[in-house]
Amino acid sequence: MNITKQSFLKLTRRIITLAAIVVVAGLTMFLATGGLWAAGSIAGQISLAYIPVSFAYDGYKPQPPTHTPTATTETPTEMPSPTETATSWPTETVMPTATETPAATATATPTATATATATATATATAAISPTPSITLTPTRTPPPGAERLVFDWNKPVTISDDGFPKIQPPPANDDWTTPVNYAQGTLYFRAEIFSIPVNQPNMRMNFCYWQTNGKDPFYYETCAIQAVPGTPGNVVTWSEEISKMWNVGTGPLDWTKPRTRAAMVIKNGNTPVSSKKDWKWGCGDTPNCTPRPQDWYPMNIRFTVVVVEKGKSFSGWSNYIP
């Protein structure tokens, strides 16, 4: 009995010693991180706890933990128990999948709207910009053509002119049909009043050509009519096609032949301010009108006429009036 008991005790000590060596070897590896996982059995359940520990066996003292980079990286891989328990935790497996799926669907929707805006720009370019340039092409301003100064009165009109300041025969008194067609062209007029004894707001002016029929030197007459208020500083310009001028009862002039006279006619309304016929210096048939030519003359005026060939434009008054 004593032998058996002694051998049992020896065997037990050897087992304890061997177990202690194994435990100490394992603990030495954990001491690098400063703790030990210990297992305990409480109420039939197994729980894991991380506790700090220090050992001394047979004079062996564990070295203080050395925090080297190699120890921290290698320790988790060699211990099988922490990795297996980490996978068993349900919280770690569910967390990544819950957050990843909404992000994938969120990025899919903006891509579809990006292609929709690309088609919107295509419809904006469908408005063709060159179309307005087509409307700019019809410019109807005729090119400059031949023109002639045919009348230029630049002095006072007096009572002795009797309401018909004239140039006889007129300048440019040749054939107006060839080589340049002035006869179907346009007359351009300019009247500038420098002074007048009494302002005459109802004043009108005619410009007329006369031509002979072989017997009467003033048989044919054609005129252009325009209102020119008789106030100092007043400037009036106008134009009229020769073919549309007013013919005084005898038909149009023959523009292949010379003209007898060119004159302007000073009028009070429709009545010449002249002593000729029954015009009575502008009173005419107006009742209670006292003829007063001194209210009209002397009238300091410049009256200028330019003819431009058919279908062409006028160069402008700056070429004639300084």
Residue 120 maps to a domain: no
Sign of CA dihedral 221, 225, 231, 234: negative
- Identify whether residues 254 and 154 lie together within a single domain: yes
- Identify whether residues 308 and 163 lie together within a single domain: yes
- Identify whether residues 161 and 33 lie together within a single domain: no
Structure tokens at 79: 């211990």
For residues 189-208, average pLDDT: 98
Instruction: Please name every residue paired with 226 in a beta bridge, in sequence order, or none if there are none.
Output: 205
**What pTM does this model have?**
0.57
Residue 119 maps to a domain: no
Residue 239 maps to a domain: yes
Count how many domains the chain has.
2
- Identify whether residues 83 and 178 lie together within a single domain: no
Residue 229 maps to a domain: yes
Residue 130 maps to a domain: no
- Identify whether residues 74 and 209 lie together within a single domain: no
- Identify whether residues 73 and 163 lie together within a single domain: no
- Identify whether residues 88 and 151 lie together within a single domain: no
- Identify whether residues 48 and 164 lie together within a single domain: no
- Identify whether residues 229 and 309 lie together within a single domain: yes
Residue 115 maps to a domain: no
- Identify whether residues 204 and 78 lie together within a single domain: no
pLDDT tens-digit series, residues 262-303: 999 999 999 999 999 999 999 999 999 999 999 999 999 999
Which of 92, 112, 136 is the C-terminal boundary of a domain? 92
- Identify whether residues 61 and 160 lie together within a single domain: no
As a whole number, the mean pLDDT across the chain is 74
Which of 62, 92, 122 is the C-terminal boundary of a domain? 92
- The per-residue pLDDT for 11 is 75
Sign of CA dihedral 45, 49, 53, 56: positive
Residue 141 maps to a domain: no
Domain that holds residue 68: 2-92
pLDDT tens-digit series, residues 49-64: 333 433 333 444 444 4
Residue 193 maps to a domain: yes
- Which helix (H) or strand (E) segment holds residue 72: the answer is helix 69-78
Confidence class for position 185, pLDDT limits 50, 70, 90: very high
Sign of CA dihedral 76, 78, 82, 86: positive
Share of the chain above pLDDT 90, in %: 53
- The per-residue pLDDT for 253 is 95
- Identify whether residues 165 and 273 lie together within a single domain: yes
Q: Where on the phi/psi map is residue 197: left (φ > 0), alpha (ψ -120 to 50), or beta? A: alpha
Which of 77, 92, 107 is the C-terminal boundary of a domain? 92
- The per-residue pLDDT for 31 is 58
- The per-residue pLDDT for 67 is 44
For residues 27-38, average pLDDT: 50
